[in-house]
Each structure stands twice: as structure tokens, then as C-alpha cells.
Structure 1
Amino acid sequence: MASSGKEIASELLPLIRVYKDGTVERLMGSPYVSPSLHDPEYGVCSKDITISHNPKISARLFCPQTLNQHVPNQKLPVLVYFHGGGFCFESAFSSDHHRFLNRLVSKAQVVAISVEYRLAPEVPLPFCYQDCWAALQWVASHIENEERVSAINKEPWLASYGDFDRVYIGGDSTGGNIVHNIAMKAGTESLSVKIVGAFMSHPYLLSSKPLALEPKGEEFEKYLPCLVWGFLNPSAPGGLDNPMVNPVGLGAPSMAGLGCSKLLVCLSSNDELRPRGVWYYNLVMESGWKGEVELFEVEGEGHAFQIFSVAETHNVKKIINKLASFLV
């Protein structure tokens, strides 16, 4: 029994608790914050939009406030962003990710769409990937003929300021996992825009075989990243070798088919997922993919530090500057 008096059906500590009445208690995650049409600290305006009513997919849209003051008809790169949070907590509307996107949009001068995909366990995997692909298709649809765009709820900021020759995707942690899956899908399925680049910070990736710096044996089975996948996607074919989490797992297509021109993998020296990020970078290098891939690492920081840090520290500025230079 939990302190609420309700009976617990299952739990994934320290992340979530599921009760027998079907309710889910999220034990981690930052509070929701409202968008702002005038952010005095970063000079970024934001608003919440609906991408789809069925299924319900929404997003937070970010745009620099200074746009068009000095450059008529200015067009900016478009970033479609997928937040982290173990597939089961955090949000495009959370304070952590709102603050991060404000910083990045201000520095990079991009239009960003932070996707509010549906969370597990209420909406099980792989629906988050489908939601994020639908959001990318919605963004891409803005360059189609005017009649078609009007029919799909044209977004004025995106239509007016977005440069659809410079579309990027990005994400942190499990959002980085989503980036890989979306980039692979973009390599095989029709999309009316070309993804120029993709970045992933501290990506969540696994396989059934531990890497050198990961726990072994029973400890690997108890390793929180492994528990997350097993708890949220227990019926995934291949388990930890499912292609959604293992890029070279059971039945995975060749990574040479990544559907973007350049890729940036951002890591931190003190992150327990660092070995998987290096592993992923090497897999891309060895795959025969024809794009440009770069590995960028920040010393002395932990997992997704740029998301969690309230202060704009030297290292936060360092990774923001790197991402901004990538989004050109």
C-alpha cells in the first residue's frame, strides 16, 4: 500500500508507481510552466499548439522575439525537439525543458517545436515514436500547396519564419533514442522535407550484452536503464536487443540508412550512459553511412546536465554553443 492508501500494482523506482485502479504517480520530473509571449531573460516567445486531436499530440513552439526587426523576410532553421524523461515523465511543458529550449532558441536563432508525445505506461511504447513521426510530418506539411496546408491547421509562426530547407531533429536521453528511430524512419519513408541534421545528447540506448564499463550479470539486470525498458516495453521482441533500443539489434536495418546529412552525439564524462553514446558513435562510423558524424563531450558533468541546470554555467553555455553552431 502507498501513503495515498491505494494499492500498488507495480512500480519503477525512483521514477513511477502504478496503482491497481489504473492511476499513475510520477515520482520525478519538473513542474509544468506556462508559455510566454515575452521572455525578458532570453528574448524568446513561446506558445502551445495542437498538432493532432486524434491521437492527441501537442507541442510548445519557440521563436526569437527579435525576428524580422533588421532582416526582412528572415527565415530560420526549424528544430523538431523530443524531450527526455524515461518515456514516462517530463514534458514539452516542463520547466526544465522550457528553460533549455529558451536558451537554445535564443543562441541558435531557430524556430523550435518541442513535441508533447504521449507517455508510457498509459500509452505504451512504441506510440511515442508514432507521435513524434506524426509531429515531423505535420511540420513538413507546411511546405506543401496552400490548400493542403490550410486543411492541416497551418501554424503562422512556422509558416512565416521556418526555413524548410534547414530542418533538424534533436533530443536528450530517451529523446535521443527517439531521434535515432525517427532518423532511421526518415531514411526509408516519404517525407516532404529533408532532415539536414540530427543531434542527440546523452542518448538512451542498450543491448543485452553489457559494455566494458557497464554492470555485469545480475547487476546488469538490475541496472536502471535496463529496468526502464523492461518495465515500459515488456513484450518488445528481442527485449534489450529490440531495434528501438539497440540500433544493431534483432532485425535492425542498416544504420547506413540514417535519413539525415549530419549527426552530432553529445556526451558527458560522468554520465552512466556515456559508454552507450560512444558505442553508438562507433556504430555509425562503421555502418557505411555517408553523412558527417561528430562526437562532442563535456568533462565533469552528469546525465542531461544542460536540461537540469537552473544556472547557466560555463558547461551549459559550452553545450548550448555547440548545438547552436550545429543548427545552421
Structure 2
Amino acid sequence: MASTTKEIASEILNLNKHYKDARSSPHVPPSLQDPETGVSSKDITISHNPLISARLYLPQNQTQTQKLPILVYFHGGRFYRESAFSFLHHRYLNRLVSEAQVLAISVEYRLAPESPLPAAYEDSWAALQWVASHSLNQEGTSPKEPWLVDFGDFDRLYIGGDSAGGNIVHNIAMKAGVESLNGGVKILGGFLSHPYFWGSKPIGSEPKGEDFAKSLPCLVWNFVYPSADGGIDNPIINPMVSGAPSLAGLGCSRLLVCVAGKDELRDREENENVKKMIKRLADFLV
């Protein structure tokens, strides 16, 4: 009889086991027309080394004369789980694309622990640059993705993500304030849905003392980015830490932050210092 014991690839002690054959939620194929929304989707490869792929979404009844806003989306999952091809994110993107009438690119970036951070940030930036490259009309360049060329409006480029993906959005927007995108494309706006931020000093109802160091966000960060300079106070995960880059360098002109009422990270967004930060950001963007 074959063994039913699953092989553990890595684990966060007493909290999470990562199995070699595990998936966070079932992967589903793309479809030419989703029966609920009419949205069409397809999978493409952005890079072979490293392997970066994505799922593209197009709302129904589009013509080449009707250019659509472009949304580059980064899924959540604490940097080590979930997928752009999972049932949950596929269903969410279908709904989002249908209601917002956008052309979306949901990025499949590399996950920890096989590819620890900063791999996800590097892949996400490469994917965004790949999208922006479609604004260039140059002969002899690599083949272009027809949906982006035919339907994408590069004057209306947005980025968005949930949880870990929201963290990626923040860091991508900061990077875009320093480095240019292909073709001089600008990020018009972005949204962070219950983004994953943390830090070494507890806020509000967050655990205190020894319990704080054992909290899931701390353990996860050390799991997905063990070599992070400054640990949990690296500006990537704690943008409020002393010495973090100024938000004045943000590389987009509009930003929306959404907080989930029962998210364990919610006190980060409700803290007075964060409110002041958001106000300064709003003043800057107006």
C-alpha cells in the first residue's frame, strides 16, 4: 500500500506546514467567456528565466476602437501561497474586470520558501515593465500580446493587489518613483486591499511582549524573507520605520487603501501615525 504521508517542504513551527504537493486553493483554467460575467481570460508567459506568467482578462463586447484602462494585479497569500490561477482569484478578477471594465493582467510571481523575497518584488516589477513595453511601437522587438496592443490604454495604467499583493503595490509604486517604466508610461493610480504591513512595535490590539515576536505576521515575514535587512522593520514591510523612503517619492498620482474590519493587521491602518501618513499622502497627491 502506498504511503499517505505527505512530505513537508518547510514549516512555520506550530502554525503552518508547507507540503511539496500542496496548493492553497484549486487551480482553474482560463475561459473564452465566463458564464457569469462574460469575461474572457487566457494565460501567457512573460519570462522563462525566471519563470513569470500571468492570466489576462478582457471584458465582453470589446472592439479595437474602444481602449480600456489597464490593471496589473498582484494576488495575496503571505508571499508563500495562493496563485493568479487559483479558483478564488480567478473568480474575483472576473467580477472585477466585468464591473470596472478594465483589461487586467494578474501576475503569477515566484513564491517563498522556494524563492524567498525579494523574488516576488522582482517578478512583479518585471511584469509591470513587460506590460509597459507594449506602449512602444518598435520593429524587431519581441512579439507583442495582442490584447494589450489592441485594447489597452497606456495613459490609464493602474496597479492593485490584496494582502501581500497590496504590499507589492506599495513597493512597486515607490520603485516607479525612482525608476522609469518602458515607454515613459506612468502609473495613474493604485489600490491596496487590506495590505500586509507590520513592524517591531505593537499597535493597538496587536500582541505584546513575547507574544508579539511569536505573532503570525512576524513569523511569516522571517519565513518568506529571512535575509531582510532590519528584519520586521525593513521599510518594505514597515514603511513607517525611521529612515524609510519618503512617500513624496511615490510613483503614481492616486492611491486607495482599503482596510478589512476583521483583519489582524487592521490596527496598522487605524493608528494615528498611519492616519497622519495617509493625510500627508493625500495632500501630496491632490
TM-score by length of 1: 0.80
CA spacing shift, 1:262–1:281, aligned 2, 3 Å = farther
Q: For 2:196, what is the secondary structure of its paired residue?
A: coil
After superposition, residues 3-18 of structure 1 pair within 5 angstroms as 4=5, 6=7, 10-11=11-12, 14-17=15-18
Counterpart residue number, 1:108: 100
User: Is contact 1:203–1:276 with CA below 8 Å preserved after alignment?
Assistant: no
Unaligned runs of 5+ in 1: 19-23, 293-328
User: Which of 33, 40, 46 is the aligned partner of 1:38?
Assistant: 33
Please name the residue that 1:290 is paired with: 284
1:146 aligns with 2:138: yes
| Closer, same or farther: CA 121–101 of 1 in aligned 2, 3 Å | same
Determine if contact 1:12/1:231 at 8 Å carries over to the other structure: no
What is the deviation of 1:281? 5.1
Answer yes or no: is 1:54 the counterpart of 2:53: no
**1:155 maps onto 2:155 in alignment:** no
Q: Is the 8 A contact 1:194 1:260 kept in 2?
A: yes
Separation (CA, whole Å) in 2 of partners of 1:38 and 1:287: 40
Query: Once the two structures are superposed, what CA deviation does each residue of 1:94-137 show, in whole Å capped at 9, x if it has no partner?
Result: 00000000000000000000000000110110010010000000
Q: Distance in 2 between matches of 1:7 and 1:52?
A: 29
How far, CA to CA, are the matches of 2:78 and 2:200 in structure 1?
Answer: 18
In the alignment, which residue of structure 2 is the partner of 1:29?
Answer: 24
Give me the identity figure in percent.
62
2:171 is the alignment partner of 1:184: no
User: Which residue does the alignment assign to 1:257?
Assistant: 249
Structure 1 pair 17/155, CA: closer, same or farther in 2 (3 Å)?
same
Q: Conserved in 2, the CA contact under 8 Å of 1:255 and 1:289? A: no
Report SS of the residue matched to 2:259: strand
Provide Cα deviations, 1:11-63, integer angstroms capped at 9, x if missing partner: 45544336xxxxx354x621100000111211100000011111110000000
Residue 263 of structure 2 corresponds to residue 268 of structure 1: no
Does 2:214 correspond to 1:213?
Answer: no
Aligned AA for 1:185?
K
Indicate if the aligned counterparts of 2:70 and 2:156 stay in contact, CA closer than 8 A: yes
The alignment yields a C-alpha RMSD, in angstroms, of 2.1
**Would you say the 8 A contact 1:176–1:203 is kept in 2?**
yes
Q: Structure 2: give runs of 5+ residues left out of the alignment.
A: none
Partner in structure 2 of residue 130 of structure 1: 122
Residues in 2 aligned to 1:93 and 1:190: alpha-carbon distance in whole angstroms: 29
**2:189 pairs with 1:197:** yes
Q: Note the alpha carbon deviations across 1:258-286, whole angstroms, 9 max, x for none.
A: 11111101112222111123355542323
Change (3 A) 1:25 1:287: same
Number of residue pairs the alignment of both structures matches: 280
How far, CA to CA, are the matches of 2:259 and 2:87 in structure 1?
22
Query: 2:284 is paired with a residue of what secondary structure?
Result: coil
Task: Provide the residue aligned with 2:219 in structure 1.
Answer: 227
Cα distance, 1:253 vs structure 2: 1.1
- State the alpha-carbon separation in 2 of the partners of residues 32 and 121 from structure 1: 20
Contact 1:256 1:284 in 2 (8 A): no
In structure 2, C-alpha distance between the alignment counterparts of 1:13 and 1:167, rounded to whole Å = 42
What is residue 270 of structure 2 aligned with on the other side? Answer: 278
